[in-house]
Amino acid sequence: MSGEGRPQVSVPHAPDLRVAIVAIRWHADIAEQMLRRALQAAEQAGTAEPRVVRVPGSMELPVVCQQLTHAYDAVVALGVVIRGGTPHFDYVCESVTSGLTRVTLDESTAVGNGVLTVDSREQATLRAGFDDSIEDKGFEATAAALETALVLRGLRGDYSSERGFL
């Protein structure tokens, strides 16, 4: 886990954005912490309370995120995939990443990818925004999705460039 080159995370002021967050039920303690941090980022941005949707696992994230893009300006996917002893890890990680990318491009909607793909539970907890974590992916994915939604709004001409985004 490098983190090298990562920009400073800042949460934009975005009170008029509609946000949805999709969180998995696997690795519940880690996913719940990421969800708490994602909700805190949305609160800092001043958004209305985000819609929270639960799904069984990471493979279900893309399709649910895609459906939510029809009603929300920004969608955040939160998941945890921990490497096991089979190639299943590689297939899941590739499918989820490709799926979320496809949703973003097909729907022209900001989708924050907060899916941890790690070798161990320890690596996941270090990235999940706990007090002793070195990264905070739920918060970061939400901040990125909100900022991207504002950029898209600016490019579409329905958001004031005076807000400093274009």
Active site residues: 88
3 state DSSP class of 122 = helix
- Ligand-binding annotation for 5, yes or no, is no
Question: Tokens for 54?
Answer: 């639960």
- Ligand-binding annotation for 26, yes or no, is yes
- Ligand-binding annotation for 86, yes or no, is yes
- Ligand-binding annotation for 82, yes or no, is yes
- Ligand-binding annotation for 113, yes or no, is yes
Query: In this structure, how many other beta carbons lie within 10 angstroms of the beta carbon of residue 101?
Result: 13
Residue 164 contacts by C-beta under 8 Å, 6 or more apart in sequence? none
Question: What type of residue is 74?
Answer: A
Place of tokens 């990562």: 6
Residue ranges at the known binding site for 5-amino-6-(D-ribitylamino)uracil: 26, 58-60, 80-82, 113
Annotated binding site: 26, 58-60, 80-82, 85-86, 113, 127
Binding residues for (2S)-2-hydroxy-3-oxobutyl phosphate: 85-86, 127
